[in-house]
Structure 1
């Protein structure tokens, strides 16, 4: 075997393994979602407390990702990748072995630190493999958010039926442990490029600000949007994040370079990421709603909870199949055109869903079409960011993008709950009315249009250093 062929084989292993790790971490956010109605009986708790199993994972991901990705750029990306995966495995084991709601809550929090795997993996790809293969790898890594979240909804029911709630967590623990061993064996460390110190004050301020913001968004529908608790957390988030911005602008070694994050093309890319991710989660939420709703709503398919996730399988498979094609489009035409193509496809797919719904075939086709748009859009965004920042800030910059995607998912879920409460179906108040479904699908189409407009006027990145 020649040196060139051996290197190509090693690069394929690196790309495949990192993409698989990203898929596993993305699963954690939705794997528990279809099981929420059963959690009160399984863990002897209330429905309101059960929803914390989602919130705490989001909190850990939002807070931990900027810190871990910054440490990755400073002290080694492979080292921090192993740390993130190790925390995910530890959390899965705790939730599987120790009975009771508290232990599962702790385990879910630790699983949330796996969010950092995708931006760290993108940083490793940019350092370890050739540019051509890095584009494909980044497309796969970025797409794992959509693939994994869709597959999590599909797998939750069969895993629960197969062995109960512990089986759901044992699956993550075993697969994660195997991936950790493979990372140590097959992925080399990338050189650490940033020797500046760690911004402790900035990390604390960002943690308080993001935690307050996510609590206000994700818990507002349970506490009440106008209650003192929700408004208090929202005010604390605004004040703390404003103070954090001022601190970061003056610190010689900031946790996140605010000046870089606020200038073109980074800021428009992150704003586009928010709207594109909103569309992806809207696809998940509204597809599940159509599958579960009774036929009396006028659009529902009335399928069993365990089978509802199967309607998202076309979306996940489409993203997997189109990832190589999206990488080729980026290589040949650039990330800007790939983002524009993906966002236009998403917008048109949601328009199709507004016009055609109420049957299994239109739902399956619509879900797949949205997945096609997500494949191109999600592949383009981290490629654009990676090309626009210095090589020693790749993980940190993509970590910020990952946080924005997570916040977008939380906003989508909160807005979805608000719309159900405001416009319920007369046949069953637990579901949207048909008019509300059409409005929601139309809003998701508008998110695709906004993303397309941002992509159209996106300025071509001029990196300080080639990534």
Structure 2
């Protein structure tokens, strides 16, 4: 059910694309204004994804899925029932865009509810829906509009979403893994403005002109708001996006690979349909109709369904890192094939399908890598950030492909059209993006020599058996310590979960039937503390960090201690950390630098 929901909301991304040339006439507007029917869905989806994902971790994942599907239903009905005006349809398309946030939430539900041995294949299928729905949207749109009116597109969308909303109510349980707490309103507003201006500049730059004042203002505002947002998130005890976790090597590199593979995936979708529709007079086009060109994407979509379990099997046997590298390399090979296989429809479809296979393999590995590296209580928000970066990659890909197709043209019958070289340049660029994604995956930490247990493949445990327990980290005087990290370990040493404290010193762990737990707490400036506790109820005893970390040493003049000597602690790049003078015994107490510093 979750995977079908993912397919339904992915359909919204491309459902109106084939009709864009017709909407100016249908809605009495210009082609530039009609393009907002696609842009608004991208913008709303990008903004909603991190916010909805964070709310899902806090207040319930099924609840947020119902919210997303409800928005799709309402948006579809507004577009179908409202007057034929651009503003009404844009409003409906914006609400449909909220459905994009459903996919990372669905992936996190799978991790919470399914048996460990089934999570890998389930996540692989859910990840593949990003491509399946996008590929199916274009032929479905053509078939519906040829037989009915354009309003039928939105009626079908509303019906699908309503059926899935009912299915979620009946089938999907509400996860017990919830963190509660305060929502980061300021971080949400700042990130929303930054994303809106960034994606607006990317998506409209080709139409407005990359040196147009509007484009430049969008990019400048994006930089300014991101610059404000970053320190705000670092200071917030319970941020919208946990940047400290996001910059951990496995998470950071996986997100970089996600952005690059999103770029490569969407270039295939855009270029294939356009190449199929180019007139035969160009020498490389095939003159297919919109519907036939859309149907040419179906082999790729079906291959993604077929290879989702293959990707899961690869992850179980070789690890998610190897799976991601393999998927990216397959995509690069597919694009090289696209450069040379251009003579027949079959050749183009072979190259396109190879890229789709690589997409299915690579996409399925990324949620696994993310969930393995973040706290259980943050799986939805972490996957939301990963999905968001894919969306930024697809938006950038759309702008790059459009720029290349307009830059290298030929004149056919007095009309300027993209030349074959324009498509080939796009293929080479996408191949480079896929290779760069493989490079990012190659830099990921290698898997342990011993293959992980099934429960470790995607996180920890599943089957909805986890409960949330809460504790606090305090100083000796009873005041809270923010941003401390607490790891919950089994007595055998295996990690169960970990979390970071908020401004009140509170942390939350997801446990599954543990009676005894070893808690290890660390915080900047404090000596680590390890305690064995008995788990009873949903509250853990507080952890007190009372021992401050210091560096000490002795300065000697020959064999005698040197009193009154000056000692300065300097980081390896020359930055001053602290200085002191020795006592009568030559001893040098000093505050301790941050963990990992080299001085």
User: Which one of 363, 368, 374 corresponds to residue 383 of structure 1?
Assistant: 368
Please give the per-residue CA displacement for 1:312-359, whole angstroms capped at 9, x wherever unaligned.
111101001111111111122111111111111111111111111131
Q: Are 1:62 and 2:62 counterparts? A: no
| Corresponding residue of 1:164 | 149
Looking at structure 2, the residues matched to 400 and 365 of structure 1 have their Cα atoms a distance apart, in angstroms, of: 32
Alignment coverage as a number of residue pairs: 451
Looking at structure 1, the residues matched to 334 and 416 of structure 2 have their Cα atoms a distance apart, in angstroms, of: 26
Superposition misfits of 4+ residues, deviation over 4 angstroms: 460-467
| Corresponding residue of 1:326 | 311
TM-score normalised according to structure 1 size? 0.94
| Corresponding residue of 1:31 | 15
Please give the per-residue CA displacement for 1:226-246, whole angstroms capped at 9, x wherever unaligned.
111110111000010111011
**In 2, are the aligned partners of 1:279 and 1:444 still within 8 Å (CA)?**
yes
Cα distance 1:283–1:430, how it changes in 2: closer, same or farther (>3 A)?
farther
**In 2, are the aligned partners of 1:346 and 1:445 still within 8 Å (CA)?**
yes
Q: Please state how far the C-alpha of 1:371 moved relative to its aligned partner.
A: 0.8
| Corresponding residue of 1:10 | none
1:103-252 mapped onto 2 (5 Å cutoff): 103-252=88-237
Looking at structure 1, the residues matched to 78 and 251 of structure 2 have their Cα atoms a distance apart, in angstroms, of: 38
Q: Are 1:87 and 2:51 counterparts? A: no
| Corresponding residue of 1:284 | 269
User: Which one of 257, 260, 283 corresponds to residue 298 of structure 1?
Assistant: 283
Q: Please state how far the C-alpha of 1:443 moved relative to its aligned partner.
A: 1.2
Looking at structure 2, the residues matched to 87 and 324 of structure 1 have their Cα atoms a distance apart, in angstroms, of: 31
Looking at structure 2, the residues matched to 317 and 90 of structure 1 have their Cα atoms a distance apart, in angstroms, of: 29
Q: Could you say which structure has the larger radius of gyration?
A: 2
| Corresponding residue of 1:307 | 292
**In 1, are the aligned partners of 2:261 and 2:328 still within 8 Å (CA)?**
yes
Looking at structure 2, the residues matched to 252 and 460 of structure 1 have their Cα atoms a distance apart, in angstroms, of: 31
Looking at structure 1, the residues matched to 191 and 410 of structure 2 have their Cα atoms a distance apart, in angstroms, of: 40
Looking at structure 2, the residues matched to 139 and 430 of structure 1 have their Cα atoms a distance apart, in angstroms, of: 42
Q: Please state how far the C-alpha of 1:421 moved relative to its aligned partner.
A: 2.0
User: Which one of 383, 392, 404 corresponds to residue 407 of structure 1?
Assistant: 392
| Corresponding residue of 1:355 | 340
Worse-matched range after superposition: 158-167 or 116-125:
158-167
Looking at structure 2, the residues matched to 90 and 425 of structure 1 have their Cα atoms a distance apart, in angstroms, of: 44
Looking at structure 2, the residues matched to 221 and 454 of structure 1 have their Cα atoms a distance apart, in angstroms, of: 29
Looking at structure 2, the residues matched to 316 and 230 of structure 1 have their Cα atoms a distance apart, in angstroms, of: 34
Looking at structure 1, the residues matched to 439 and 290 of structure 2 have their Cα atoms a distance apart, in angstroms, of: 37
Looking at structure 2, the residues matched to 335 and 199 of structure 1 have their Cα atoms a distance apart, in angstroms, of: 32
| Corresponding residue of 1:441 | 427
| Corresponding residue of 2:327 | 342
Q: Please state how far the C-alpha of 1:69 moved relative to its aligned partner.
A: 0.7
| Corresponding residue of 2:302 | 317
**In 1, are the aligned partners of 2:404 and 2:423 still within 8 Å (CA)?**
no
User: Which one of 245, 255, 258 corresponds to residue 243 of structure 2?
Assistant: 258
Q: Are 1:42 and 2:26 counterparts? A: yes
| Corresponding residue of 1:4 | none
Looking at structure 2, the residues matched to 299 and 192 of structure 1 have their Cα atoms a distance apart, in angstroms, of: 54
Looking at structure 1, the residues matched to 200 and 435 of structure 2 have their Cα atoms a distance apart, in angstroms, of: 29
TM-score normalised according to structure 2 size? 0.74
Bigger strand fraction? 2
Q: Gaps spanning 5+ residues in structure 1: where?
A: 1-16
Q: Please state how far the C-alpha of 1:134 moved relative to its aligned partner.
A: 1.2
Please give the per-residue CA displacement for 1:276-302, whole angstroms capped at 9, x wherever unaligned.
111111111111121011123221111
Please give the per-residue CA displacement for 1:396-445, whole angstroms capped at 9, x wherever unaligned.
00101111111111111111121122112232766421112111111111
Q: Please state how far the C-alpha of 1:192 moved relative to its aligned partner.
A: 3.7
Q: Gaps spanning 5+ residues in structure 2: where?
A: 448-455, 460-486, 488-495, 498-509, 511-599
Please give the per-residue CA displacement for 1:5-51, whole angstroms capped at 9, x wherever unaligned.
xxxxxxxxxxxx00000001111001111110011112221111100
Structure showing greater relative contact order (alpha-carbon pairs closer than 8 Å, 6 or more residues apart) = 1
| Corresponding residue of 1:9 | none
Q: Please state how far the C-alpha of 1:460 moved relative to its aligned partner.
A: 4.4
